[in-house]
Amino acid sequence: MSFIPVNEPLLDGNEKKYLCQCIDTGWISSEGPFVKEFEQKMSAIVNRKYGIAVSSGTAALEVAVQALGIGVGDEVIMPTFTIISCAMAVTKVGAVPVLVDSDIHTWNMNIGEIESKITSKTKAIMIVHIYGLPVEANKVLELAKEYNLKVIEDAAEMHGQTCNGDPCGSFGDISTFSFYSNKHITTGEGGMVVTDNEELAERCRLLRNLCFRKDIRYIHDEISDNYRLTNLQAAVGLAQLERLEEFIKKKRQMGRYYTERLKDVKGLILPIERMKYSDNIYWVYGIVLDKEIKADNKAVQSFLAQEEIGARTFFWCMHEQPVYRKKGLFGNKSYPNAEYLARKGFYIPSGLALTEMQMDKVIDKLVKMMDIIE
């Protein structure tokens, strides 16, 4: 059996057909009809009025932050355990990320810490759902209301997931998605901002497209960027969306399969299957090494690589990023849970194209590894 990649997407629906339509009609840029259709379908799925397709999940976060008017000196509360896109969107506009530690069990931001981080400069809270279980968004929304703060929801990993019965992507002022190739729904590269606020949606459309003024073209009152998604990408996205339910079902089956077969392996902490507010969607199947194991996730990654299995270490914390360290952004504060996850957490192959035979091999090698590892 050959190398098992950490993620392989499934593209065997209408992707090819819709792509051919783009080529046949000549609509390949962002002006094509699939873009609007993709925006409508995706926003409807998450109960939002407006969807604004952009070029990546990172672009979606940048557009969201800018649309909310977050700027120099403002503070945005977010987890330290996340992808740098979240922090970058904030530091790019001169605002300051204010970090919270992780919940060691769910790997999401510890909601209980948020209130103590609120200051007179706090403008927003950024919720980031990590790996499979959502942040209990309702609780954050209550807090935000009490302190009159905006909420940005990064739902990049949560297409099709719910929290207390409502879709991820429906919480707060504005939510963002990524359609990178390892996400449940992919367009290769791509993203979307969704909101119920017409004014915000209009701001996002402007920001996506160089802030061309609506009345006269080539006149600009503001600086932004070209964040447009192409019709080709939207064509793939539409075909993918048709299969969202099937994909989610498959992800959950895969997650349960891994758990069933790994649950008695000593030294491995497996993802939680169910919280009161949500069932795990296993965007990736994450595993954390128990305290008694001395090895770290890099050792795991190299062991599995030798066995021809792709694995990835967990996110590296924002407060430990060299680029932010250099700027002295987060001082010497420590966030012990997040630091532990960053060193001891890894994820194993969990893409939609993964077969049961491949999963069996991954399981075998993990078991073998735990026999050897110190």
Ligand X SMILES: *Cc1c(COP(=O)(O)O)cnc(C)c1O
Under the rule (CB under 6 A), what is the footprint of ligand X? 56-58, 82-83, 85, 128, 154, 156-157, 178, 180, 191
CB of 156 to ligand X, least distance (A): 3
CB of 177 to ligand X, least distance (A): 9
- Which CB sits closer to ligand X, 7 or 162? 7
CA distances, 267 to each of 206, 314, 316, 337 (Å): 51, 17, 22, 17
CB of 215 to ligand X, least distance (A): 32
CA distances, 197 to each of 145, 148, 193 (Å): 16, 16, 11
Residues in CB range of 232: below 8 A, 6 or more apart: 19, 22, 28, 32
- Which CB sits closer to ligand X, 50 or 315? 315
- Which CB sits closer to ligand X, 51 or 57? 57
- Which CB sits closer to ligand X, 162 or 187? 187
CB of 186 to ligand X, least distance (A): 9
CB of 347 to ligand X, least distance (A): 12
- For the chain, the straight-line distance linking the first and the last C-alpha, in angstroms and rounded, comes to 28
CB of 191 to ligand X, least distance (A): 5
Closest CA to 85 of 49, 45, 117, 58: 58
Using CB positions, name the residue nearest to ligand X: 57
- Which CB sits closer to ligand X, 19 or 87? 87
Residue type, 366: L
- Which CB sits closer to ligand X, 128 or 234? 128
CA dihedral 168, 86, 180, 237 (to 10 degrees): 40
CB of 140 to ligand X, least distance (A): 16
| Alpha carbon distance 71, 336 (integer Å) | 29
CB of 197 to ligand X, least distance (A): 21
- Which CB sits closer to ligand X, 93 or 373? 93
- Which CB sits closer to ligand X, 136 or 157? 157
Question: Given CA atoms 356, 358, 361, 363 in this order, what sign does their dihedral have?
Answer: negative
